[in-house]
């Protein structure tokens, strides 16, 4: 596979991520912030996000397993998750978080649990997708190519 093909694949894949709503404009901004002085910025941020989300999801699972759920605590966790997900542009996680917070406000344990599952699912999905994306980038770089600029894709 030559570099050009890989780049095309990468572009297609990125496009599909945006089209399917896994990512939003914020992710583009992140990519913008990455430059020569900070070549691994996006990967760093994203991995930071997944570490963070992993921890938060664990906390959430624990919190919701308690016999009496502390909704305030749950809400603060979800708020954090929402903030960080919107920061990296993981829009589906963010949307799930918004729904989650609504159930929190209603103090609906069942709804919260459902949402938690959904958030976990979305988180896992976007994690896989992004890992795939990063793998593709690594391959491109390894093949001596450069990662295409998003603006040039013509979004």
Partner 1 sequence: MSLLHVFGFGLKVGHLLWMLCCWIISVISMNWFLNGGIMDTKTCLLGDGAKICLKWWEKISGTSCKIHHHYYQYICSKRVRRTWWKRLLIAWALGWTVVSLWIFLYMSSQATEKRKETLASMCDERARMLQDQFNVSMNHIQAMSILISTFHHGKNPSAIDQRTFARYTERTAFERPLTSGVAYAVRVLHSEREQFEKQQGWPIRRMDTLEQNPVHKDDYAPEALEPSPVQEEYAPVIFAQDTISHVVSLDMLSGKEDRENVLLARASGKGVLTAPFQLLKTKRLGVILTFAVYKRDLPSNATPKERIQATDGYLGGVFDIESLVEKLLHQLASKQTILVNVYDTSNHSQPISMYGSNISDAGLEHISTLNFGDPFRKHEMRCRFKHKPPWPWLAITTSIGILVIALLIEHIFNATVNRIAKVEEDYHEMMELKKLAEAADVAKSQFLATVSHEIRTPMNGVLGMLDMLIDTDLDVTQQDYVRIAQGSGKALVSLINEVLDQAKIESGKLELEEVQFNLRAILDDVLSLFSGKSQEKGVELAVYISDQVPEMLIGDPGRFRQIITNLMGNSIKFTEKGHVFVTIHLVEEVIDSVEVETETSSKNTLSGFPVADRRRSWRGFRVFSQEGSNGCFPSSSSEINLIVSVEDTGVGIPLDAQSRVFTPFMQVGPSISRTHGGTGIGLSISKCLVGLMQGEIGFVSIPKIGSTFTFTAVFTNACNSNEYRSQQIINQANTASYEFQGMTALIIDPRLVRAKVSRYHIQRLGIQVEVVSDLNQCLSIISNGNTVINMILVEQEVWDKDSGTVALVINNLKRIHHKVPPKLFLLAKSVSSPRTSPATSGVCNATVIMKPLRASMLAASLQRAMGVGNKGNPRNGELPSLSLRSLLLGRNILIVDDNKVNLKVAAGALKKYGADVICVESGKDAISQLEPPHNFDACFMDIQMPEMDGFDATRRIRDMEHNVNSRIQRGEVSAEAYGNISTWHVPILAMTADVIQATHEESLRCGMDGYVSKPFEAEQLYHEASRFFQSVSNGNL
x-or-dash string of contact with partner 1, 27-46, rule CB under 8 A? -xxx-xxxx-xx--x--xx-
Within 13 Å of residue 72, how many CA atoms lie on the same side as its CB? 0
The alpha carbon torsion through 128, 133, 135, 138 (nearest 10 deg) reads -160
Classify residue 80 as exposed, middle or buried by CB count within 10 Å of its CB (0-12, 13-18, 19+): middle
Tell me if residue 90 falls in helix, strand or coil.
Answer: strand
Residue 1's Cα: distance from chain center in Å? 28
Q: Could you say whether residue 69 binds partner 1 (CB under 8 A)?
A: no
Q: Which of residues 135-154 bind partner 1 (CB under 8 A)?
A: 149, 151
Q: Which of 79, 113, 114, 120 is the binder for partner 1 (CB under 8 A)?
A: 79
Contacting residues for 44 by C-beta, under 8 A, at least 6 apart: none
Segment interacting with partner 1, rule: CB under 8 A, options 6-14, 26-34, 112-120, 133-141: 26-34
x-marked contacts with partner 1 along 86-115 as a string, rule CB under 8 A: xxx---------------------------
Give the residue, chosen from 10, 49, 100, 103, that forms a contact with partner 1 under the rule CB under 8 A: 49
Would you count residue 83 as binding partner 1 (CB under 8 A)?
yes
* Alpha carbons 57 and 81: distance in angstroms, whole number: 9
Chain contacts with partner 1 (rule: CB under 8 A): 24-26, 28-30, 32-35, 37-38, 41, 44-45, 48-49, 52, 76, 79-80, 83-88, 149, 151
């Amino acid at each position: 596979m030559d570099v050009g093909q890989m780049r095309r694949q990468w572009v297609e894949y990125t496009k599909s991520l945006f089209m399917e709503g896994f990512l939003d404009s914020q992710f583009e901004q992140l990519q913008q912030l990455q430059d020569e002085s900070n070549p691994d910025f996006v990967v760093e941020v994203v991995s930071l996000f997944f570490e963070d989300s992993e921890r938060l999801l664990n906390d959430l699972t624990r919190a919701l397993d308690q016999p009496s759920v502390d909704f305030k605590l749950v809400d603060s966790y979800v708020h954090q998750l929402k903030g960080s997900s919107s920061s990296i542009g993981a829009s589906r996680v963010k949307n799930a978080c918004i729904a989650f917070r609504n159930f929190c406000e209603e103090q609906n344990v069942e709804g919260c649990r459902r949402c938690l599952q959904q958030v976990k699912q979305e988180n896992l999905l976007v994690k896989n997708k992004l890992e795939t994306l990063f793998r593709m980038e690594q391959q491109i770089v390894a093949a001596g190519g450069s990662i295409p600029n998003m603006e040039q894709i013509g979004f």
